[in-house]
Each structure stands twice: as structure tokens, then as C-alpha cells.
Amino acid sequence: MTTDHTFNPGSKLPLVRASVAAPVIAALQTVNVEPAFVLDPLGLNEAQMMDPQSFLPHDVIYQVFQAVSEATNPNFCASVGQNTDLVQFIPLGDMLTEALTLGGFFTRFTQAVSRESNATTQSLLVEESHAYFSARRSFCPTVSPGQADAFLASIWISLLHRVLDFRWDPHEIILRVSDPDALPKQFHGVKPIKCSPQGYSIRFPSSWLSYSLTPQVLENAPDVLAQGRDLVAPIDFLAGLEGLIGNHLATPGFGVEKLAKLCGIHPDTLNSRLTKYDQTASQVITRLKREQAEKLLRQDGHSVNNVAAGLGYSDPTAFSRAFRKWTGMSPSAFRRSQKDPKS
């Protein structure tokens, strides 16, 4: 029996929901580390990481996990994972509580988590006496995913430990992760094995899948991410790119160079990827700025200065010049034209 939910990688930008790292970001304050200390050097902020509608390249998320571990200790991310509630951690988590057995939980999880990334596969394979739960990447990461995998694997090992309770036998488990040192030495007795950075896997007796679940087993942490996770990870490269740009429109000086760096590719490669859309990166950024400017100017309560600042312009005059170039009229004239179509 195999349960497998994935996207066809194609030529899309590999994105993952930014809030996958929210539990470790939120936990920083418990050890007196300000999230900004970790996120500012990466050009990120706490609100962006907690926003369930924000998607970032996988490698950026791996950088976040790595930076968190460097600001705390090598096992910090795994420790947070041990206290993360899967029901609250993923979208559609409520349907996980409807699972009566561990097998049902795994199956429902693979269905729910398919919305979190457009470049990873979560699967459960059952072969006679063993079950294999694995996560596989359809791309080659350029940043070590070791800390991120340690966090995620810790969630699952801790869940298995709670379900098995007195029946727990760590020798029945084979855990493969890319960086075993990211896990605590006393990890419920499980000794991880090093594997490639393309994913991680957990092998355990298939008989465990029939074990019953209770609400007490599933609820083990406060709600960090209960709301707003209806958005699915973008499949199309351009759609994913537009999402990234939208999150940075207010960043002063945000252009092709910064966008390419955020994507982890060279600007020439970025433009090459956009060839099939008959657009350049600069044109995409300009189009989204224009659309956002027009949207805000149609609404009451947004001054021209505020609109300019919201699009990364420190000088409203520069914004007015740009807007006139886009539309052939000034921002004020555009606003009047929307209120009085005859003008």
C-alpha cells in the first residue's frame, strides 16, 4: 500500500510555506533570543515567517533553520520539533483528529501536507512487516536541510513514542536524516543514520499502524499556527515568483538582483526561466508595482505618500515619475479618473 501526494516539479520555483519554520522562530524567545537577530541578516522578518500565506524558496527556509541553530544550540530545532503539535502545525489539521489509528493519521497527513510545498513528496509505504514514512525533494538543495529535517523528524519520532507508550522499542526504528548531529544524543533511544540531503525516512513495524489514537496523544503543544492556511503552494514558476515579489514590494531598492538572490539563482538564469512567459524579471516587478499602486489609489484612505512608501519608494516624487511612465498620468490624476470616469 502506498499513499503519495506530490506535484510534478517541472520548471517551477521550489517553494514551501514560510510558516513551516514558525515554531522554531516562536521558540527563540524562550531562550532570550530575539527573532530579528536571526531573521534580519537573511532579509526576513517575523511577520513574514508567521504569515500562513507567505511562501519562500526551500533553501531560504533551510537558512532560517540553520541560523536558529547557530543562535541557540545544534539540537534546538529538534527539541522544538519534539513539542510541536501536528494538528496545529499543518493546514486541515482538524481532519487529523478524525483518524482512529496511527495508519489513518499518516494517510490523512500526506493529504494535508501536500499543500505546503510544490517540490517535496510525503509518502507512506507499507511492505509486509515494515512501514516506511519518507519525505523526498524533487530538487537539489544548495543549503543543508539538516536542521529542518531534524525538526520534522523529531515531530514524527515523538508522536510514535507517545502512541507506543510502554510498548516503545527504539530498536524497531530506523531513522535516516542528512545530519544526525542535529538530533539530541538521547533521542528516545533512536540512533539516526546519515543519508543524502534529498530527504529523510523513518522505518518502523507496520503493526504499529493499527494502534489507536486518542486526543491526548495528539495534543502536546499550544497553538502556534491555527488560522489562515488555505493557500496552496504555487505550482507555476511565475505564480511562485509573483508571490515572492508581492512579499517584498515595500522593500526599498528591491529589484532583479535582490529577487534573484532570494530565489538562489543568477539574474540571467532568472530571466531565462521567464522566457516562456514572454517577460523579464524587471517587467514582472514593474507590473506588480503598477497593479498594487492602482489598487491602492482606487481605495480611500491611502495618500500618494503612503502608496509610494508601500512600494519601496522613499521619495514620493520618484514614485510619481514612475507611475506617470506606467500609466501616462500622475497618481492624483489617476485617482480622480477612477472617481469620475468622464474626467
Tens of pLDDT, residues 47-61 = 889 888 889 999 999
Q: Where residue 163 falls among pLDDT bands split at 50, 70, 90?
A: confident
80 and 202 assigned to the same domain: yes
Handedness of CA 160, 162, 163, 166 (dihedral sign): positive
Task: Indicate the residue type of 121.
Answer: T
Looking at the structure, tell me whether residues 264 and 330 fall in a common domain. Answer: yes
Q: Which domain holds residue 207?
A: 2-9+74-218
pLDDT category at 89 given cuts 50, 70, 90 is low
CA distance 192 to 182: 10
Is residue 68 within 8 A of residue 77, CB to CB? The reply is: yes
Same domain? 210 vs 171: yes
Backbone angles phi, psi at 126, to 5 degrees: -115, 120
Q: Is residue 82 part of a domain?
A: yes
Would you say residue 253 has pLDDT above 90?
no
Q: What is the number of structural domains in the chain?
A: 2
pLDDT (mean) for 192-197 = 94
Q: And the C-alpha cell for 14?
A: 521550489
pTM of the model: 0.71
Residue 99 clears pLDDT 60, i.e. is over it:
yes
| Percentage of the chain exceeding pLDDT 70 | 85
Q: Are residues 194 and 253 in the same domain?
A: no
Name the 3-class secondary structure at 226: coil
Task: Please tell me the total number of residues recorded for the chain in this structure.
Answer: 343
Buried b (16+ CB within 10 A) or exposed e, 122-134: bbbbbeeeebbbb
Is 194 within 8 Å of 175 (Cβ atoms)?
no
Picking from 161, 158, 165, the residue whose alpha carbon sits closest to that of residue 183 is: 158
pLDDT surpasses 50 at 230: no
Torsion-angle region of residue 223: left (phi > 0), alpha (psi -120 to 50) or beta? Answer: beta
Domain end: 158, 184, 218, which one?
218
Is pLDDT above 90 for 273? no
Mean residue pLDDT across the chain = 83
Identify which of 23-27, 91-95, 337-341 has the greatest average pLDDT. Answer: 23-27
Together in a domain, 264 and 314: yes
Please indicate, yes or no, whether residues 276 and 311 belong to a single structural domain of this protein.
yes
- Burial status of residue 95 (CB atoms within 10 A of its CB: 0-12, 13-18, 19 or more): middle
Domain end residue (candidates: 185, 218, 251) = 218
Residue with cell 547557530: 70
The pLDDT, as a whole number, for residue 282 is 92
Does residue 42 sit within a domain?
A: no
Residues 264 and 302 in one domain: yes
Claim to verify: residue 111 and residue 183 sit in the same structural domain: yes
Task: Check which CATH number belongs to the domain holding 256 and give it.
Answer: 1.10.10.60
Among residues 132, 116, 137, 96, the alpha carbon closest in space to that of 9 is found at: 137
pLDDT above 50 for 309 = yes
Q: Let me know if residue 197 belongs to a domain.
A: yes
pLDDT of residue 340: 63
Which pLDDT value is given to residue 265? Answer: 77
Within-domain flag for 226? no
As given in the structure block, the three cell numbers for residue 171 are 530498536
The pLDDT-based confidence of 8 (bands split at 50, 70, 90) is: very low
CA angle 204, 171, 87 (to 5 degrees): 45
Alpha carbons 270 and 266: distance in angstroms, whole number: 6
209 plus 246 within the same structural domain? no
